Structure 1
Amino acid sequence: MKWKQEILEKVAFIKGHKGFASLGIRKQEVSFNPCLTEKEILSFEESHCITLPEDYREFISEIGNGGFGPGYGLLPLDKAVVDFKLNNKPEIPLNKSFRYQDDWNEEWIFSFDWERGYPDDDIVNAYISTDHISGCLQICHYGHGGTFLLVVNGNEKGHIWFDGRADYGGLVPKKDAGQRISFAEWYMSFLDMEIKIIKEHEEGTY
């Protein structure tokens, strides 16, 4: 993995300067779960009829199967396929393509009179259904029900999206300079931001 050494060096720097990191990171363990074996990854791919994006596949096999990351950290593969936000904890159907290519939200959200109450349960249930995130791993809980998605099936495969439906914010692709970003680019950006915060804290400019 071409990113491996750089990622490990940046994680080590953050761990060594954790007291100067952002509040969320200070509450996290700067460590990773054990890596998955090639056999375990192949078994997962075969059972869901997909192949994982190469950078993510290498991350969980060479660095760790979840652990230190944005928000509450990276979810392990077996939990990333479950929608923890829903009461019945359904599996996300990975064998179906992710349907979106641009920002998406329901039109009714913008015209609903929120001062008079909340929409009916059947409307909300349709909105937060896993059908909208088919073909995605829910790799990270960022807080307040917002999650980062890694698309593993469809035209957006390999790209990171943000799922803000818990706050009626819809689905949005993550971008850098107007371009879609991969898992490795997203994770590296997170590390760079934390290192920037640490250095600004140390210099007294944060």
Structure 2
Amino acid sequence: MFEQQWSGVRRRLAELGTRPSSDQVFGSHGHRWALEDPLSDDGLAELEAQLGVRLPEDYRNFLTRVGAGGAGPAYGVFPVRRVQGRWRWEGDGADLADPTMLARPFPEHGPDPEVLDALLAERPEEEDFDEIEDFDDAAEAWDERWGALMFAPERTAGAIVISHLGCAQREWLIISGAHRGTVWSDCRVDDTDLAPLLDDTGTPVTFARWYLDWLEKAELTAHQPRTKA
């Protein structure tokens, strides 16, 4: 089933890249409709052996049937590459995923909302300080506390960053635990915890759904008449 759902995707992407309106698809100037070569079966096996976990089936088949990364939602799917004998994902924020924690289950919950609210209430305000240097010091100290809480490696155990939308907003693929195979939004830069992407029925979005829905919408956009400046 997973092999069939990726049938023709490379051809569709190549055709999209030739459309005059394809540059109106958000993020396309980043990936330019290019795909990495697919992984070999041996490459995938080596990757999973290094991670200590089997990747979600639809993503596994994407890697071996479509490409190891490239054209996709937002600025594209982060490529996974073998560098100096080790596999790693590359992209803006890809290093937020701790490779030593990928086999651990993704946590059911993030930080305690009451703790978050209390810390947000303590955020320094510039008007409360007589000297800008004192405000800067207080803000830096608060940022460290916030980062330690929101960006603790344990929060994203069992997950990899697969795409970014700009402005430090990213999307993660959960590869271990109860939420395995689903894609989550990361807007922690806007003081919001990670949250699953949901379809119109409230069902969590899988990698395949995430990618193929984007492809259909991209085709619709690219087939529209070019917008005049």
- Provide the TM-score with structure 1 as the length reference: 0.83
> Conserved in 2, the CA contact under 8 Å of 1:159 and 1:182?
yes
Describe the shift of the 1:90–1:151 C-alpha distance in structure 2 as closer, same or farther (beyond 3 A): closer
Unaligned runs of 5+ in 2: 81-86, 127-138
How far does residue 76 in structure 1 lie from its aligned partner after superposition? 1.7
The aligned counterpart of 2:148 is 125
The aligned counterpart of 1:182 is 206
Q: How far apart, CA to CA, are the structure 1 residues paired with 2:72 and 2:29? A: 12
> Conserved in 2, the CA contact under 8 Å of 1:14 and 1:195?
yes
The aligned counterpart of 1:10 is 12
Q: Deviations over 1:170-204 (max 9, x none)?
A: 111011121112111100111122122223345x6
Q: 2:99 aligns with which of 73, 91, 110?
A: 91
Q: How far apart, CA to CA, are the structure 2 residues paired with 1:156 and 1:24? A: 27
State the structure with more CA Rg. Answer: 2
Q: How far apart, CA to CA, are the structure 1 residues paired with 2:225 and 2:112? A: 38
> Conserved in 1, the CA contact under 8 Å of 2:21 and 2:223?
no
How far does residue 128 in structure 1 lie from its aligned partner after superposition? 0.8
Q: How far apart, CA to CA, are the structure 2 residues paired with 1:161 and 1:23? A: 19
Q: 1:80 aligns with which of 73, 77, 89?
A: 89
The aligned counterpart of 1:191 is 215
Aligned AA for 2:12? Answer: K
Describe the shift of the 1:85–1:159 C-alpha distance in structure 2 as closer, same or farther (beyond 3 A): closer
Aligned AA for 1:63? Answer: V
Q: How far apart, CA to CA, are the structure 1 residues paired with 2:20 and 2:157? A: 36
Q: Deviations over 1:32-72 (max 9, x none)?
A: 11221212211221222211111110111111101111222
> Conserved in 1, the CA contact under 8 Å of 2:91 and 2:163?
no
The aligned counterpart of 2:125 is 116
SS of the equivalent of 1:57 reads helix
Length, aligned pairs only: 202
Q: How far apart, CA to CA, are the structure 2 residues paired with 1:124 and 1:85? A: 17
Q: Please, which moves more after superposition, 188-197 or 105-114?
A: 105-114
Describe the shift of the 1:32–1:197 C-alpha distance in structure 2 as closer, same or farther (beyond 3 A): same
Q: How far apart, CA to CA, are the structure 2 residues paired with 1:129 and 1:82? A: 20
Q: How far apart, CA to CA, are the structure 2 residues paired with 1:69 and 1:85? A: 16
Q: Please, which moves more after superposition, 147-156 or 30-39?
A: 30-39
Q: 2:179 aligns with which of 156, 163, 166?
A: 156
CA RMSD of aligned residues (A): 2.9
Aligned AA for 2:103? Answer: N
> Conserved in 2, the CA contact under 8 Å of 1:81 and 1:92?
no
Aligned AA for 1:10? Answer: R
Q: How far apart, CA to CA, are the structure 1 residues paired with 2:30 and 2:39? A: 25
- Provide the TM-score with structure 2 as the length reference: 0.75
Describe the shift of the 1:9–1:33 C-alpha distance in structure 2 as closer, same or farther (beyond 3 A): closer
How far does residue 110 in structure 1 lie from its aligned partner after superposition? 4.0
How far does residue 109 in structure 1 lie from its aligned partner after superposition? 4.1
Q: How far apart, CA to CA, are the structure 2 residues paired with 1:124 and 1:186? A: 28
Q: How far apart, CA to CA, are the structure 2 residues paired with 1:40 and 1:57? A: 11
How far does residue 158 in structure 1 lie from its aligned partner after superposition? 0.8
Describe the shift of the 1:59–1:72 C-alpha distance in structure 2 as closer, same or farther (beyond 3 A): same
